[in-house]
Structure formats: structure tokens, C-alpha cells
Structure 1
Amino acid sequence: MAKANKEEYKHSNSGIGGQYKTWFLDYASYVILERAVPAIEDGLKPVQRRILHAMKEMDDGRFNKVANIIGQSMQYHPHGDASIGDALVNIGQKNLLVETQGNWGDVRTGDDAAAPRYIEARLSKFALEVAFNAKTTIHQLSYDGRKNEPVTLPMKFPLLLAQGAEGIAVGLSTKILPHNFCELIEASIKCLRGKRFELLPDFLTGGIVDATNYNDGKRGGKIRVRAIVEELDKKTLVIKSVPFGVTTTTLMESIVKANDQGKIKIKKVTDHTAADVEIIIELAPGISPDITIDALYAFTDCEVSISPNACVIVDNKPQFLTVSELLQIATDNTKKLLGWELQIKLSELQEKWHYTSLEKIFFEEKIYKELEKKHETWDAVLAAIDKAFTPFKKLLKRAIIREDIVKLTEKPVRRIYRLDIDELNEQIKQLEADIKDVQYHLEHLTDFAVAYFENLLKKFGKGRERKTEIKAFDTVQAKSVAIANIKLYANYADGFIGTSLKKDEFIGEVSDLDDIIAFTKAGVMKVVRVSEKTFIGKDIIHAAVFQKNDERTTYNIIYVDGKTGISYAKRFNVTGITREKEYDLTKGSEKSKIHYFSSNPNGEAEVVKIILSPNCSAKKKELDFYFEELEIKGRGAMGNQVTKYPIKTVRFKDAGRSTLDAKKLWFDNKFGRLNTEEKGQYLGKFEAQDRIVVYYFDGNYEIIDQELTQRFEPEKIILMEKFVPEKVIATVYLDNEKLQYNVKRFKIDTTTLHSKFMFIKEGKNNVVMAVSSNEHPLLLVKTGKGQAQQQTKYKIDQLVEVMGRSAVGSKLTDFNKAVEMEWVVQQEETPQTALFD
């Protein structure tokens, strides 16, 4: 009995397991195919398709309550009113297929739409044109078998790429980003013409997108989207857009959180969003706007990373495609549907031509008189009429069937008048012209499809221009912009550093992202993370924030080798290390120790006085040592021998000088950054006190320091160079009021950093055309186009005298739309003999 029960139990478990596997697979397939993933044919999920179908059934040109639309859609979608309502609001907010009325919420702020009973919707004219055609729609039974619904809509537009799609199924997900309406149409035209095209995302929320790694929307690609953050003044920033998928509410929450964590320092953040996004950020005193903007991108939702994953249903199976493949399929599908519609139209025209021709023959050849003759049966009458048509059947394009003759007998006899016959002839003539036109389009279907897309762009493209700016931007290094708001302490004797050692010696303020480099008397170097308490080694002699790849900070040391008693000196940089690893800066012998240590931010090489032990046999007990005589080598180098005698002490004597070349700076006009990595325009060599001057197209200049965290907008800059106060600046600008180009020479008379000063006449649309600090600037002015172009060279230093920065200047030439100006590089020996050539 027990054995039987055991077997029965095993059998029942096997049955349940089998059912579970089958049911779960069925459920997974259903979620993928029927709920989460769009179809390739029309770019719609089932719920979206059913909503649009229901709206088409209800369409009478007027708005319908969303509650009524939901009710109509429930006849086709078996998942309740909430899912239908959410999907409809989502479609409406995309402002493409559905026209809305009432409060439909705001994707920028995250505000929800009003209740369905309060808001209204109807199909847009665009939707009616591209998404519906009863003659080309294949239907299937709805879930309850009572209604017919479309398998897919005959979509003649790459809707999936225009709207985007997002969904989570069982075991897979889809995320297709929205693209620009006009660019999709232009790409479809290129696709039809066999030309190359590129598609990049475009979001209704605007912002800036770096699509360098978009990888054609393929799975594994990535884009970065940024809010537009601008400096209102030195104490205030304004956010003018939100990244895709981020609301003003979540953005502000992320800013407050970053402030609470000490990543940024702000006084207040306020949302003034109305028609446009406007979030005002008031900065804490002494905080740099440039660094704060970078910190907002690094630590808040002002920058988000999005990974596309274009999964669609193709032949009842999920497939992962690229954006180009999706557009190619959508374009081919549109062309196919257009061809299908033309074929249907051709058949209808041919059928109409056939019947109109029959009608004409019927009355013109008096075949209708067969109706007046006495025939035994109705079939005999129809047979007689058919026989009467025999001589004319060769004129027709298909055989005459019984239905044709029956239909003719129902026509009124008044058609026998000549006026009616002439009207039939006109109809036939027009039908033949229409047939010829449709046949031409079928033979040139690609051209017809191109014209169709061009018409879509003309009718619906206005107001759908790109909203998201495409711009490559650099990756913000979180370490470089993190606010130093944590106090770091050190117990030098016991060898501990950390944020919790508040009773010990204060080192400085750091951020929680910083690394700390520390050195001990025994010659050990170690780099550690900021933490509450970390052991470095007894007798710490130096601790500071570590900057990776820093080739300018130079460490000078004198140490004694414990094994031989010989003292060595060396200079080295620390550019890269393994965190938490101990590095020995001596020869590694026991009892080795450092006599002298210094950290020099710009490669300074000091002079020190070495005092030897009074008991040693050396004749000279004091000597000066010059670190500038040593080369900078690796940290593992042994160094140069200083003395074989025991040293009592080493004292600092003189600061000396830097042995490094002046710092070389470049301006990266792609990202708008100063750098030392040789990216962009070379600005020159800079000592610590040197400055940079920036000239802007709007007629302002600005003197700045060498801080690498500064941000610039390259498109607004006409010239950036090393600032030399003695130089005379030559400039040509457009005086828009007088419609003339003025020229002037001046010296910069200000020294204030990070403040803009006007150097041309103030006025609306006045703009700088050229700026030069050359001693003898020679300007080439080209006017006109093609063979009619004229060129004139102006020797500016001989044309105008040096004047004040605020002077208007002298007239150079009249305004000309077709003008180009450029400075000519001169040979030094070229004599300046004339005002102009």
C-alpha cells in the first residue's frame, strides 16, 4: 500500500511539473507577442493597435471622451481600463497619432493626466493618412470572438522609430529610442534611392545627446543625454531642459541628494517650469559655476546614460535589429503597401471602365430594346442581351458576366439621350487617363514612394524640427569636480590618517572620492582611499591628495641606506600606483630612513644645507646640496650619492627654481576645454602667473586663468590665445545699424579675471568678423561669388591708429552679405608700404 502511494505521488509531481513548464512557456510567449514587444509591420504593441482601431471606428472628426475610447477599446483588449488608459495617454503625449484636448499631463514634470472622463482625443490627420486603409488591412477575431480586429495596421511610415518603444517581457526587453520625424522621412527617401543615411535619437524633452557610441541603435550601444545647464550669473545656474526619461521632480531630488551627500554645494534649487523648463540653482558662496555644472553632470540626473535594445516581433518571433534595419523594413513595407493600394485602385478603375463601356454600348447600340421583345423567360432576355453584345466583346478587357447584364437592365432608359452618351464617353476617357496614370506609378513605384514621403514631409513636417542637440561631450571625472567637504586628520607619530581622528592634526579638506598619498620616515610610500582611519606606518612625514598622472608634482628626498650608511638624493614623480600597496623609496635595507623630504607642485629644486655628524672623519662638516643638479627619475631609482659620512641633519636653505619646462596648454574646440593632453589648438607655454584671453563673436573679451575645469562654448569664440598685456589688438566688426564694417586697434586695459568687457560698438546684431594680435596684421577681404569675386588686402596697422577699447573705430567697407575675411600670414621681410593692395 505504501509503495502504491509513493508511485502515485511521483506520478502526480511529474504531471504538475510538466504542466508548469508548459504553462510558463505559454505565458512567456503571450507576454512577448501580445503585450510587451511591438510588431515590425506597424511598430505598435497590441494595446496601441487596438486603441487606434477603436478610435477609427468612433471617428467622426470630433473629439471623444477618453473614457468612451477606453470603453470601445475594451471590446478588443482583455486587460482592463487602466492599461488601456495608460497606453492612450502615452500615445497622446507623443503628439503624433492622436490629437489631445484637456490636461494630458507633462512628460517633463512627471505630472499625470486628468481622469479619462475629463480629457478628450481624436485621431490626427497624420494618423488617418498613414495608418488606415480597410482595403489593405487583414483582420482576425477578437479575444471573445465577437468582433474583428486588425492583425496589424497598414502603416505607411516608420512609426516605431518616430515614437520609440519600451517594454519588459519574460526573459527579454525592448528599448527603441524616438527619432526625429523629418529626419526619418529624409532617411526613408535616401533608403529608396539607395543612398547612405544615419539616424540619431531625438527627444521631445530636448537637451543634448552624445551619440558617439549609439552604434546604430544596436544592442550594446549607448548614448549619453544631458540637460542644458547655463550660467545665469556667477552665483546662479539655470537648467533649461531635462534628459529623456527624467522629470523636473526627479532631477531636483537628485540635486538635493547630491548636495546632502556633499558632492555639490548649493544654497537653493527652485522649479520655475511653465511653458519651458526652468530650474534655478543658487550656488553657495565661493563655489565655481563651471565646476558645479560639471558636478551636476557627474553626480545628478542632469546626465543619464541610455542603452538601446531594439527588440521587435518579426514572423511571430522576437528579433534584435539595428535602427537602419528597422527603417529599411519600414520603408520597404510602405512601398509594398503603396503598390498594393495602386493595384486595388487599378482594379477598381478597370472594373469601372468595363461597366461604363458596357453601359455606353448598351444604350448607343440600342441593345436595351431586347427588353421590349417578347421572351419566354427572364433568362432568355439576359441571353438575348448577351448575344447582342457579341460583336462588341472584343472591345472589352474582360468577359461579360451575368451580373453585368442584370445591372444594365436596372438602368433608367433616359440614358439613350445623346447628352448621356457624351457623358459616358467623357467618363471612359477620364478612366483611361486615370488607369494610365496608375499603371505609370506601378511601373515607377520607387519614384511614387519618394513623392509620397515628400508629401508627408510637406504636409506634416512643420513644427517637427529636431529638438535635441547632437554634440559630443567629454566625460566628467567625478574626482575632479567633487566638493572637498570632509576634514582629514593625521596622527603623524603613530602613523594613522583618517576623517575620525579629530583630536589629531588637521591635514585639509578632501572629498570622499579622493585618494591620499602618504610618506613615512622609514621611506615607505602608500596611496589609500579616504576613510575613517587607515594605518600608513609610524612617523608619517607627508600626506596630501594624490593626483593620478601628475607629471609636475616632484618629490625631493635625501635618505640614508641602513646597510651601508651611505646617503643618497633623488627626485621623482608619482604618476600611477596600486592602491594600498607599500612602495619603498630607499634601497630597502633595514634601518634606512629619510633625512629630508619636500613636495614641489611645479618641479621646484631647492637648495639644502647638509650638516654631518660632528664625530665623523670628514674634514668639511657642512655642505650645500643643489637638487637642480639631479634629473627627475622614477620612484624606484636609487638616486645619486650625497655623502658616505653620517648625516646629523638636513635644513632647507633656498627655494631655488623650477627645473620643468613651462606648462603647455591646448584648447579643445570640440569639447570646449583647456587641456595638457595636446588636444585641439596649441596655446603656448605658461608659467604660473600667465593668463589667457578669450575673444567672443559678440564683441566681448575675457581674461581667464589656467584652471582646466573651466567650460567654454567653442561656437561663441572667435580667438583664444596667451594674454600679453603689451600687445595691440586689431579687430573688424559689423556695425549693423550703419550697415558697414568698422576697423580698430586697441590695447586691453583691464586685468580682472573672469569678467567680460566689450571691445566693439554696442548694438543689436553687431558681430566681430576678425581679431588678431599680430604686430603687422594683414587682412584679406573677399566680396562677391564665383568669377565676380573681388579680393582686397588691408594693412591694418597702417590704416588706423591705436585707440581706446571703447572707441567705435573707422569705416573699413560697406556691408556685403557675400563677404569673407581672413588674416594673411606674412613673411617677416615683407615691407609694409601701402595702406591696402
Structure 2
Amino acid sequence: MADEPFQDKLPDDDGTIGGSTDVTIEEEISYSFLEYAMSVIVSRALPDVRDGLKPVHRRILFAGLEAGLRPDRHYRKCAALVGDVMKKYHPHSDQAIYDALARLAQDFSTRYPLIDGQGNFGSIDGDAPAAMRYTECRLSPLAMELLRNIDEETVDFIENYDGYEVQPSVLPARFPNLLANGSSGIAVGMATNIPPHNLGEVIDATVELLRNPDEAADDARSLEIAMKRIKGPDFPTGALIVGRQGTLDAQMTGRGSVKMRAVCEVEEGPKGNPRIVVTELPYQVNKARLALKIADLVNAKEHRLEGIADLRDESNRQGIRLVIELKRAAVPQVVLNQLYKRTQLQDNFGVNTLALVEDVPRTLNLGQVLTEYIAHQVTVITRRTQYRLRRAQERSHILEGLIIALDNIDDIVALIRAAADAEEARNGLIARYGLTEIQANHILDMPLRRLTALEQDKIREEYEELQKTIAELQAILDDPSRVRSLIAEELEDIKEKYADSRRTRIVPDEGEFDIEDLIADEELVLSVSRGGYIKSVPLDTYRRQGRGGRGVKATALKEGDIVEHLTTTTAHSYLLLFSNSGRVYRLKAHEIPKRDRTARGTAVVNVVSMRPEDEVAAMIDTRDYESYRYLLIATRKGMVKKTLFREYDSTRREGIIALNLKEGDEVVRVVPTSGEEDLLLITRKGKAIRFSERNVRPMGRTATGVIGIRLESDDEVVACGVVRDENDDLLLLTEFGFGKRTKLHHFPRKGRGGKGVIAAKLTKPRGDIIGATVVKAGDEVFVISDDGVATRQGVDGISRQGRPTTGVRVMQLGEGAKISALAPMVNEVDEGGQDKLPT
């Protein structure tokens, strides 16, 4: 009997067992334990990757919604909510439910609390919450974002444990809660421990994946994007993350150990003794136990912690303040190192990103978590749109019947009056006007007040609006990119409402350092020649000169080569090199080989992986990717394109696409913008057009752009500027060294795509426009000629003139030489106005 298949001993489909069956204890334990293990894994301990919730948390939030505990309603006793959850959805201990509820309300346990609690919900000292009969709660505003649209058939509902109620199998979860709040739990044979992250960073990563579906489909690229946006865990208690390796391991593999450290400051006590003040603790560290542990180490008979004189807790509602008084002879850093080593002032968070994916436990990396979340959101928004479309179509169908009735109101009234009963009237309407039964019933139910002219107009207006709504909803369903864009827009709304600054700072480990830490953040002049040579020269190499100065020798160039681009920046800044073919390459300024002022430089292709046939068209420097909102690219043929600056944040050595160019066109200038300013395009033949940046809608990184200025056949764009202050000037420089300043208000705002106005009166001796830039009083510019001579001078010495003028001499040129480049300086000079270095 024991050798028979175990399935033969299971109940039949009707739940009965015919007679008795002998089963070995090994088989019974194996089967029953497997059932228990799967129940714990799926129904208790592990979160769903889609909404980041365990079943008990999901049931608490849904029961709160059902009970009307919205953020704008009054608080209610926690006991009432716990009772609802236990009665309807979660047949387990009321204390276990209350513990889960209380944790959702603790701002030291949950990064973004989902329960708004009133009363004593415990403390970081390990104090338990007050009994549930005393405390009160309601849903937090952010919890409503997890539940939003749940009434629009966005998720499946399943029966509860006894079949009397239904509950959601997952929440719509309009933000990535699994990463934002993290999760921890012990199942059978496995455990999960996911740290919380910053909501703003998580949403930024999700939005970038949504707007780049091709890259999101690639596991390696999705992980790269996620790691670029999400710096690391962001704990509710703040503190420090020491070192990057643990965070990188966790992000790349789903497993890692993150070293956390308390924020400690060394102060001087009233008697001159040093003291260590702890203001932030590592996540999940009990402050009272920590203080007790320190006291035990100080009082220990063996391996005593030396140097500590007193310990007291001065924490209050303003924050944590644990004061460790030191003896006069103690060295604070030595004591701190001992505390880090022997107490939880330094602790590790073991990351294990284990979550349920289609009810199967999987360890996920950072990119996979976001990819699964996006797939869930696509389903949610698609189902929501289908629901709204169906409701709109149903209402439209009814309104069509009402409009038919209004168009034939006299005949219909006569038909109804002549009918013996409602059934005969309904059948008459259906037969005569081809109405459906639903339409006929609504006509019969229509009150007489709907026959007024005003009410008739309202019905027709509602019908017309519904047709637009139906068309819009159908368009969303027909275009997957519209669905992803909608998700991205709604996520950005959530970010704007609820995102906050990081609480946890990431600092290098003692054994870790960045090579950049050893490089002085000095000011540099970066130049690129038309022949493809790039170099870095300290700014103080060039002395400041007055208008008309001859300059100093800047570069020893090959015959026929000229300096075409230059910028002033700092060594730690990023430099973006835009090629004429529409690609962009990123590097740090200090990575550009430093050369003598007169040296030629290094070939660009030896610094970045630019194609040999390409040329550098523009350079942009920035300290970080939050400095600017947009980058605007102008092309030689007058096209402009505006793209979010952060979309150019890429570490790819081979570069990324900056824009797609039309045949025969090339990039000529790139400028950072805020999205709210006016733009100026200046052409070689002295034309300029000014238009609002709002007329250029933001586009994706690979778009082509729109027309900025219409050009004559022999003209081309040479510069692009941003208008931030009407009192600023536009500085124009011609190829033979003449220039002028013109007030920006002399350039009237026009519509995008016009031919522009005259910016300068050009003559053959002065030459065409070679460069232009917007300047303020007191600014300096850097000018270089095609024979390698450079000058640095203040703009105040350059004459201010009207638009149709020719300008004055700005730089004396050698025989046959021409101006090749113009760039503004990043910093002002000393008031003395003279460079301290000799020529």
C-alpha cells in the first residue's frame, strides 16, 4: 500500500475519500509541509513586486478604503479597522494585524508612511504602541495613490477566505512602493529584506525607462538607467551609507550588504571636554538598547571601552541627540572608531530583493523590479482606459436615444399617450425609431423638465463632449506609447506632490577614495580645433587685456587648422562634446590632457570614441545633471530641438544620439535653458530671430526638431543665445576682429520660423559674423584667432551700438588672420582688472 502513488490517496474532486487509506508518515509530512510552506510564501511573508505589499498590508489598506478612512475624513479607532480586516479578509491574530498597521504609521520604520496615526504608535527606543482601543488612524495621502483607480476595474478581485467578501489580488499602486518603502519578511526556506529608497529618485528612474522602451527592454540598459537615477537606499532615520560596493552589489544582483553608520559630531563641552553627539541612527537600530550597550562596554571588567566619562539621551520631538561625554585626554576619533566597531553606531543592512513575480519568488536586480512594475502599470492604465471607454460608450448610447426623442418630441409624446401601458410604449418606440430597449427605457424615464430648451442644449453638449472623450480614449488604447506617456505624466505628478530630499548620505569608506579627490578643482580653458585636437590649459595662464589687445600665443596649430570651440570650466565638471553628426560624448574636464598654452593638444578620438570623420560642434560643461532643465540644440540649417538635460546623462564611451539630423545638416550650437526664456538665433550674414522657448515643445533625445529660423540660400546659423535679462547685451564678433554690444530689447520677440531682423551691418572689411554670446556688464570673453593667438578681455570696453551698425575693433589680428572662436568666461576677474601673471 505504501508503494502506491501519493496522489491516489488525495480526496476526490467532490472532497470525499472513499474508505480509509494508509499513508506513510514521510509522505504525509512532505505533502502537508509543502502546502504550509507555499501558503506562507505566497500569502504571508513575501511582497508582490507590483505593489510592494504583503497580503496583510494590502488588506489593511483596502479595508481602510472600504471603511471610508480617507485622509480628509476623521480618524477612527484602530480597533475598528483591525476588526474589519480580521473579520473580512485576514483570519489571523488581531495583534499581528495591529502590529502590521502600526508599522505602516511609524515614520522611523516606514520611509513613506501609508497610515496616518493619532496617538502613541511606539518609538525608536522600542516602546510598543498603545493598545488599539486607544490609538486612531486613517489612510495617508500617499496610500490613496496605491489605491487610486481601484474602482475602475484596474485589478482582479478574488474571494476572501470564507467566500462572503471579495478583495483585490493586487493594488493599482500608482508609484513603485516596493522600492520606495522596502519590505522585510521571513518565509519558509527563504527571506526578503528590501531597503527603502527615495521616491523622487525611484520615479525618475521609472519615467526614464517608460520614455525609452527600447532600452527598458534590454536588461543591461534598464539596470544601467535604474542605477544612474537611484543613488542607493534612503532610510527613514537618515544616517550614512559608508562605501559604494555594497549598494552596487545589491542593485546589480539583488543581494548585498550595505554598511550604515550613525551621524556623529564632535563638540566641545562647557568645561572644555570633547563630546560626541549622535544625531541620526542607522535604520532599525533601537536607541535605548544602543545606549545600554555603550554603558555595558564602559563598565565591563574586560575589554572595557576607554575614554567615555558620561552618556545621556537628550532626544526630543525635534530629533535624536545622544550625547557621549569624553574624558579630557580622550581622542574623539579613536573613541568613535571603537564605537563603530563594537556597537550598532555602525551596522549592516543585508539586502535580499526577493519578491513574488506571478506568485513565484524571484530575486530581482534594480532594473528588473522597475520593469515588472512598469508592466503592471501598463496593465492598470490599459484596463482603466477600457473601463472609461466602455462607460463613455454606454452613456453615449443613451444620449443618442435622448437626442432622437428630443428631435421627435411631439410624435413621441403622442405615441406614449396613446399607449395602453409602458410595455406598449416601449415597443412602439423601438419599432418606430429603431431604438434599443435601454434607450427606450431612458426616454420613458426622462422627466418633463428635460424638455426645456436649456436641458436639450445640455444633452447635446454632453453628447459632443463624450464623442471627443471616446476618440481620445480609443487613441490611447491604439497607441502603446500613449499609455507609457500617461503613466510617466502621472508618476511625475506624484513626485511633485510627495517626493522629498534624500535623508541618507553616501560617503566613501576609509579604504575607498575617488581619484577625483586627488585632483584640484581648478579653473581651466578647454579648446578644440577644427582639425580635431583638444587640450586643457589653466585659466590663470591667460592675462586679461583691454579692447584691441593683440593677445598671447595660445596654440601652435598645423597650417590650415584653427581653434573652433573653447569654454572655461572647472576640473571636476562634466564636459559634453556634441559632434556635428548629432552624437554626444561625456567625460570629466580633468580627463582632458593638460597641455602648455602653446601646445597643439591631443586628438579628440584619443579622448572619446568619436568617429574619425566627425567634428566637435559644441561643448557644454556642468557640475551635475540638475543644473539645467533643458538643452536646446541649434543646427546649421536653422532647426532647433529642446530635450530634458538629464536625458544626456550617459556613461557610454561610444556616446549616445543627441538628435537625428536631416540630410546635409549638422549641429552648430548647444545651449542650456530653463524652459521659460526667449531664444536668439544669429546667422553668419547678420540676421537674428528672437522667439519664446515655449514655442519649442520638449522632444525625445532622438527627435529631429522644428524650424527655428528660415534662412537665405547663402546663410547659416552660427550662434544661439538665451535671453534671461532684457538689460543684458548680445555681443557680436566678425571674422576680421570687429564687434559690438547691442541691448537685447532691440531684438523684438517674433514667432518661431520667421526670417529674423538685421543684427549687424556687415561690410567686406569687417567680414561675416563668426560668433555671438549674451553678456552682462562686467563679464569677460575669450577670443582666439585661427593663427592660435588668444585674448581675454572685459566686455565693458566693447562699444554698445544699435542693431544696423558695424561695430569696433575688438582684437588686432596678424596679417591674413581671422577670428575663429568666441566664448564667455565662467567667473569674474578681480576688481583690479589685471592678470597677475606675466604675458
TM-score (norm 1): 0.54
Aligned equivalent of 2:245: 212
Deviation at 1:249, TM superposition (A): 1.6
Aligned equivalent of 2:138: 122
- Asked if structure 2 preserves the Cα contact closer than 8 Å seen for 1:59 and 1:123, the reply is no
- Asked if structure 1 preserves the Cα contact closer than 8 Å seen for 2:262 and 2:279, the reply is yes
Deviation sequence 1:54-111 (CA, Å, 0-9, x none): 11111152211111111111111111111001000111112432111112122x3323
Tell me the distance in 1 between the aligned counterparts of 2:105 and 2:424: 62
Tell me the distance in 2 between the aligned counterparts of 1:475 and 1:298: 15
Identify which range, 194-203 or 433-442, moves more after superposition. 433-442
Tell me the distance in 2 between the aligned counterparts of 1:181 and 1:325: 17
Q: Which runs of 5+ in 2 are unaligned?
A: 1-19, 216-224, 522-571, 573-771, 783-790, 793-824
Tell me the distance in 2 between the aligned counterparts of 1:821 and 1:110: 58
What percent of counterpart residues are identical?
27
Identify if the C-alpha distance between structure 1 residues 323 and 820 changes in structure 2 by more than 3 Å, giving closer, same or farther: farther
Identify if the C-alpha distance between structure 1 residues 155 and 413 changes in structure 2 by more than 3 Å, giving closer, same or farther: same
Aligned equivalent of 2:416: 372
Tell me the distance in 2 between the aligned counterparts of 1:379 and 1:248: 76
Tell me the distance in 2 between the aligned counterparts of 1:245 and 1:414: 65
Tell me the distance in 2 between the aligned counterparts of 1:98 and 1:334: 23
Aligned pairs for 1:204-603 (under 5 A) are 204-210=236-242, 211-214=244-247, 215-217=249-251, 218-233=253-268, 235-259=274-298, 260=300, 261-274=303-316, 275-366=318-409, 367-369=411-413, 371-372=415-416, 374=418, 379-390=423-434, 400-442=435-477, 443=479, 444-461=482-499, 464-474=500-510
Deviation at 1:671, TM superposition (A): 11
Deviation sequence 1:135-168 (CA, Å, 0-9, x none): 3242222212222222222222111111111111
Identify which range, 254-263 or 278-287, moves more after superposition. 254-263
Tell me the distance in 1 between the aligned counterparts of 2:450 and 2:125: 68
Aligned equivalent of 2:664: none
Aligned equivalent of 2:45: 36
Aligned equivalent of 2:128: 112
- Asked if structure 1 preserves the Cα contact closer than 8 Å seen for 2:226 and 2:366, the reply is no
Q: Which amino acid aligns with 1:336?
A: T
Q: Which amino acid aligns with 1:450?
A: A
Deviation at 1:466, TM superposition (A): 0.9
Aligned equivalent of 2:76: 64
- Asked if structure 1 preserves the Cα contact closer than 8 Å seen for 2:50 and 2:178, the reply is no
Q: Which amino acid aligns with 2:141?
A: K
Deviation at 1:13, TM superposition (A): 8.9
Aligned equivalent of 2:233: 201
Identify if the C-alpha distance between structure 1 residues 57 and 266 changes in structure 2 by more than 3 Å, giving closer, same or farther: same
Tell me the distance in 2 between the aligned counterparts of 1:34 and 1:378: 53
Tell me the distance in 2 between the aligned counterparts of 1:436 and 1:220: 47
Deviation at 1:377, TM superposition (A): 7.0
Identify if the C-alpha distance between structure 1 residues 16 and 70 changes in structure 2 by more than 3 Å, giving closer, same or farther: same
Secondary structure at 1:222's aligned position in 2? strand
Tell me the distance in 1 between the aligned counterparts of 2:146 and 2:332: 48
- Asked if structure 2 preserves the Cα contact closer than 8 Å seen for 1:370 and 1:384, the reply is no
Secondary structure at 1:232's aligned position in 2? strand
Tell me the distance in 2 between the aligned counterparts of 1:419 and 1:785: 60
Aligned equivalent of 1:528: none
Secondary structure at 2:280's aligned position in 1? coil
Deviation at 1:432, TM superposition (A): 2.3
Aligned equivalent of 2:626: none
Deviation at 1:475, TM superposition (A): 5.1
Identify if the C-alpha distance between structure 1 residues 379 and 58 changes in structure 2 by more than 3 Å, giving closer, same or farther: closer
- Asked if structure 2 preserves the Cα contact closer than 8 Å seen for 1:89 and 1:113, the reply is yes
Tell me the distance in 1 between the aligned counterparts of 2:314 and 2:22: 62
Deviation sequence 1:265-310 (CA, Å, 0-9, x none): 3111211111211111112342211222222222221111222111
2:23 is the alignment partner of 1:20: no
Deviation at 1:457, TM superposition (A): 1.5
- Asked if structure 1 preserves the Cα contact closer than 8 Å seen for 2:51 and 2:171, the reply is yes
Deviation at 1:372, TM superposition (A): 3.5
Deviation at 1:339, TM superposition (A): 2.4
Identify if the C-alpha distance between structure 1 residues 670 and 235 changes in structure 2 by more than 3 Å, giving closer, same or farther: farther
Secondary structure at 1:99's aligned position in 2? strand
Deviation at 1:355, TM superposition (A): 0.9
Identify if the C-alpha distance between structure 1 residues 131 and 338 changes in structure 2 by more than 3 Å, giving closer, same or farther: same
Secondary structure at 2:96's aligned position in 1? helix
- Asked if structure 2 preserves the Cα contact closer than 8 Å seen for 1:207 and 1:243, the reply is yes
Identify if the C-alpha distance between structure 1 residues 263 and 377 changes in structure 2 by more than 3 Å, giving closer, same or farther: same
Aligned equivalent of 1:89: 102
Q: Which amino acid aligns with 2:257?
A: K
Secondary structure at 1:240's aligned position in 2? strand
- Asked if structure 1 preserves the Cα contact closer than 8 Å seen for 2:145 and 2:175, the reply is no
- Asked if structure 1 preserves the Cα contact closer than 8 Å seen for 2:399 and 2:459, the reply is yes
Identify if the C-alpha distance between structure 1 residues 353 and 445 changes in structure 2 by more than 3 Å, giving closer, same or farther: same
Secondary structure at 1:174's aligned position in 2? strand
Aligned equivalent of 2:619: none
Tell me the distance in 2 between the aligned counterparts of 1:448 and 1:296: 50
Q: Which runs of 5+ in 1 are unaligned?
A: 1-10, 391-399, 477-667, 673-678, 683-714, 716-783, 795-816, 823-831
Aligned equivalent of 2:525: none
Aligned pairs for 1:584-663 (under 5 A) are none
Tell me the distance in 2 between the aligned counterparts of 1:279 and 1:376: 88
Match of 2:195 among 155, 160, 177: 177
Deviation at 1:408, TM superposition (A): 1.7
Aligned equivalent of 2:806: none
Tell me the distance in 2 between the aligned counterparts of 1:680 and 1:239: 32
Tell me the distance in 1 between the aligned counterparts of 2:95 and 2:773: 64
Deviation at 1:330, TM superposition (A): 1.4
Deviation at 1:246, TM superposition (A): 0.7
Aligned equivalent of 1:627: none
- Asked if structure 1 preserves the Cα contact closer than 8 Å seen for 2:279 and 2:320, the reply is yes
Aligned equivalent of 2:158: 140
Q: Which amino acid aligns with 2:484?
A: T
Deviation at 1:188, TM superposition (A): 1.4
Identify if the C-alpha distance between structure 1 residues 431 and 304 changes in structure 2 by more than 3 Å, giving closer, same or farther: same
Aligned equivalent of 1:506: none
Tell me the distance in 1 between the aligned counterparts of 2:21 and 2:428: 77
Identify if the C-alpha distance between structure 1 residues 338 and 96 changes in structure 2 by more than 3 Å, giving closer, same or farther: farther
